[in-house]
Amino acid sequence: MQIKPILGALRRHKAGTVLIALQIALTLAIVCNALFIIQQRLAHLSEPTGIDEANLLVISNQWAGTMSPQQIDAQIQTDLIALRQLSSVRDAASAEGYPLRGGGWDNFVMLKPEQLQPTTDAAVYLGDEHSIGTLGVKLIAGRNFNATEVMRMGSRQIVVPPVVIVTKALADRLFPDGSALGKLIYPMTSTPTTIIGIVEQLQRQGVSAWSKPYAYEALLWPMRQDAGGVYYMVRAKPGQLAAAIREAPAALYAQNRMRILDPEDGGTYPQIRQRIYESDRGMAILMGIVCVVLLAITAAGIVGLTSFWVGQRRKQIGVRRALGARKRDILSYFLTENFLISLGGVLLGSVLAIAMNLWMVQHYEMARLSLEYLLAGIVALLLLGQGAVLAPALRASRVSPVEATRSV
Amino acid sequence: MFAYYFQLGLRSLRRNPALTALMVMAIGFGVAASMITYAVFRAVSGDPIPGKSAQLYIPQIDGWGPQQNIEGEPADALNYADAMALMRAHQARRQTLVYSVNMSVLPGGSRSLPVAANGYAVYGDFFPMFEVPFLYGNGWSQADDDARAATVVLSEEFNQKLFGGANSVGRSITLNGQDYRIAGVARHWDPKPRFYALAWNNGFQDASDFYLPFARALDRQIESNGNSCRGHLNFSNWDEWLHSNCVWVSPWVELDSAAEAERYRHFLEGYAADQQRSGRFAWAPNVRLRNMMQWLDYKHAVPSETRISLMVAMGFFVICLVNTVGLLLAKFMRRAGEIGVRRALGASRREIYTQYLIEAATVGLAGGVLGLALTAAGISGAGLLFQPQIARLAHLDVALVGLTLLIAVLATAAAAFFPAWRAARVQPAWQLKSN
């Protein structure tokens, strides 16, 4: 294939050449970054929580009126008994927060009592001997709490249970040699708490970027809070979630009607995921639409300009055909021409894509663009160019040599 | 002449329907994408209290010290001791403390099911400072603050829910089992982003239901929604918690001039220095005094999704325009012969230029109309792409309709500068000869 004559011809169509190359460059820059954003968002919203999401129901319960701490604690215990007695319910536990969203807090964790700078951060979950079974998290080392270890915590009161269960992620962060079981830790306290069990995985109570450094680092304390609201974690028997959704609120109101069950907070995990990840999902959809429309418009633009060139050069094509060029030669001429322009476009586009990504890294906590996305984008755009140019090029190849003799 | 060129433009567009449709769609999609994301951006990045925001400041005092603060910045809120010290010093014309509370209320008397209500504990200055408009009654006085009165201001929406919109001033409601006398009902007031609540949430949550006196809320030990603490936690009751290093109070002050703000900053530094001298702080004064817009910027009140979407949409629009430049070039140059004839018959370059610009503007206008339809559809479906609490703020108004059409026409005309210039430079002799 002769490249020199093609380059020579392009020099006579500077404006069109530059426009197509520029369009391909900009498209590459935006599509690469958009695809990368989509991948990041999808990865974020498919992070596991480590719990039995399919069978769990979260009920947000606030107390109304005036109740003493004793009354609240007694009410929580009778509520839990009532929930556990429902035929559709496998187990139930109280909590101050639930994975992905809702209440709860995080405590810095220290390894020595006098330590000021934290070793790491951890999501704090409160519960009792039913919590692990209710959440459906897997105990991989040590033991569960027993009923006598469960303590009470009042409003604005710090209570440190002597025992704690931690996630594997937290255990590994604190004791990388795997010796966490039986060790003492100091989660913002000067009194120690002993690690008696390790669970496989438990996500934190939020998914925002600031808390990402302690993702999956959680600790579970045997404790009930007798002030403020409470979450009831209800694990339905397999296939009975719908029944549990019907029965549980009724059972609670039957115990005491002075409570507020917030429908906007909690629910089933598909509902919770829907709420939590709405901005991630929206972003992925938006970027998807942009990619598709952008590629379509770029392809259409290439078809339009190339068709124009073919129309302009019918005579020259006719001359070449009359001088012995085969249809194949004409076809490959236009394909090569487009390939050269596209190549220039993707070279410029790669620089633009990386610059755009670096700018977002600096301003919007984005991750670095991985090169596979850039390579995939380059290949996609080169193929798109070839595909778009195919129809006009085929039309050009069908120009008859007779054209050379017509109306000069 | 304009009308004639416009007609020529329309006729020319009909000649290559595929090419025209392609250009109109490119402009339409490009302008719609930009306008939808702009409508959302406009809704979340505005000034919550236009005309007043420059006088409202949020003081920050580092009560955690360099070892425990967040990368050298003081916490977003104040602890109780520092907040009360600022109130006592009263160095600003108006000042308030704010914290977020959740309470229960019985909407239909003592036999009904309770509902949750969210509100803020504030000082009486809150209402004039933030220019809260009143439907009935008004806020409360400093005397009420001092007397720790059991009084409350309801939002219009909450008053609608509880009293069917009637004038409820003087009546009382039961919050968390305690009675509060209604002092006023605020006319619909929901500044977005909710600048005074950014210490606890993203500023776009549901409108607040009520406001009650700060001192009264503390007397009733109403817990704040969220607090952040450092070091060893060892409080065991409300009072010990109040005097811990936990931060949960947002202070706001009104300062009329830059000079006053400077004076207040000095006061804050002096206060922090006093704390260091007295041994309460073991570090040098670390204070901030940001005005409202600086605070919104510092807290990244505009979600990054909104900004990224806007930028990607504008990039998309630029590509659509580049595409249009190419297609217009092809379209115009295909008619080189026609241009040659017109030039030979005496049309000046300027006239050719004008004609083709008007033809391009026609494409732009058609693209704008398509873009407008897509924008309207997009805004009503924005809930799919943005968080509902943010998407519902975006709306189509006259300004946006005008902007959409204007941008479509201007951008297309700008895209046509080069193709029209090339068209005007066609040599008549060349064209005439070759035909």
Burial of B278 (0-12, 13-18, 19+ CB in 10 A): exposed
For residues A139 and A128, what is the distance between their CA atoms, to the nearest angstrom?
14
Interstrand relation of B151-155 and B134-137 (parallel, antiparallel or unpaired):
unpaired
Residue B304 dihedral angles phi and psi, to the nearest 5°: -65, -30
For residues B161 and B158, what is the distance between their CA atoms, to the nearest angstrom?
5
One domain for residues A295 and A168? no
One domain for residues A188 and A140? yes
Domain that holds residue B323: 2-47+303-434
One domain for residues B211 and B312? no
- Count of C-beta atoms within a 10 Å radius of residue B346: 8
Position A266 in a domain? no
One domain for residues B247 and B321? no
B322 touches chain A (CB under 8 A): yes
Q: Which residues of B touch A407 (CB under 8 A)?
A: 435
For residues A242 and A247, what is the distance between their CA atoms, to the nearest angstrom?
9
Say whether B104 and A190 touch across the interface (CB within 8 A): no
One domain for residues A221 and A120? yes
Identify from A294, A356, A358, A407 which residue to disrupt to test chain B contact, counting B C-beta atoms within 10 A and taking the largest count.
Answer: A294
Tell me which of B220, B254, B288 is where a domain ends: B254
Largest interatomic CA distance in chain B: 100
The pLDDT of residue A408: 46
Cβ-based neighbours of B348, under 8 Å, separated by 6 or more: none
One domain for residues A200 and A74? yes
Query: Per the structure, how many domains does chain A have?
Result: 2
Of B342, B322, B279, which Cα lies nearest the Cα of B419? Answer: B322
One domain for residues A253 and A300? no
A24 neighbors A342 (Cβ within 8 angstroms): yes
Position A53 in a domain? no
One domain for residues B181 and B250? yes
For residues B105 and B203, what is the distance between their CA atoms, to the nearest angstrom?
24
The pLDDT of residue B335: 83
One domain for residues B325 and B179? no
Portion 19-38 of A in contact with B at CB < 8 A = 19-20, 22-23, 26-27, 29-30, 33-34, 37
A105 in helix, strand or coil? strand
One domain for residues A341 and A253? no
The pLDDT of residue B372: 94
Provide the edge-to-edge strand list for the sheet that holds A89-95.
Answer: A89-95, A230-236, A56-63, A259-268
Position A265 in a domain? no
Tell me which of B254, B286, B317 is where a domain ends: B254
Q: Which residues of A touch B315 (CB under 8 A)?
A: 26, 29-30
For chain A, residues with pLDDT lower than 70 are: 1, 102, 407-408
B413 touches chain A (CB under 8 A): no
Position B290 in a domain? no
One domain for residues A88 and A155? yes
Which single residue is written with the structure tokens 């020595």?
A112
The pLDDT of residue A313: 84
State the pTM of this model: 0.86
The pLDDT of residue B60: 96
One domain for residues A75 and A198? yes
Tens-digit pLDDT profile for residues A179-228: 999 999 999 988 999 999 999 999 999 888 888 889 999 999 999 988 88
Query: Per the structure, how many domains does chain B have?
Result: 2
For chain B, residues with pLDDT lower than 50 are: 435
The pLDDT of residue A142: 94
Helix axis angle for B336-344 and B304-334, nearest 10°, is 60
The pLDDT of residue A144: 96
**Residue B42, min C-alpha distance to chain A (Å):** 18
Tell me which of B222, B238, B254 is where a domain ends: B254
Domain that holds residue A136: 66-257
B78 neighbors B136 (Cβ within 8 angstroms): no
Tens-digit pLDDT profile for residues B91-124: 999 999 999 999 988 876 667 788 889 999 999 9
One domain for residues B113 and B222? yes
One domain for residues A248 and A334? no
One domain for residues B103 and B237? yes
Position A329 in a domain? yes
Position B72 in a domain? no
One domain for residues A93 and A201? yes
B299: its two tokens: 């807290």
One domain for residues B156 and B18? no
One domain for residues B404 and B324? yes
A130 in helix, strand or coil? coil
Position A202 in a domain? yes
* Residue B177 CA, distance from chain mean position: 36
